[in-house]
Amino acid sequence: MYAITCDNCKEDLGAYSDYSAWADKSQVEDDAENSEWEVFNGTHYCPNCYTRDKDGNVAIKNKPKK
């Protein structure tokens, strides 16, 4: 099974989705995109951790401090 976490804040995609584990990598990445996560080459960012400007450029926010 596959699951992904945000590469920035380590949030679990399961917190944003109806699922908590996925049968294959393409499914988990589809669900990430459907949950408004950003998927780059092998990295994943939750909606709290990136912004997209009007030109579609993605900027990753700084890691939250806890």
The residue ranges that bind Zn ion (CB under 5 A) are 6, 8-9, 11, 46, 49
Of residues 42, 65, 64, 61, the one with CA closest to residue 51: 61
Compare residues 4 and 22 and give the one whose CB is closer to Zn ion.
4
Smallest distance, Å, CB 60 to Zn ion? 9
Of residues 62, 51, 58, 57, the one with CA closest to residue 7: 62
CA distance 53 to 66: 27
Smallest distance, Å, CB 14 to Zn ion? 13
Smallest distance, Å, CB 10 to Zn ion? 7
Compare residues 8 and 22 and give the one whose CB is closer to Zn ion.
8
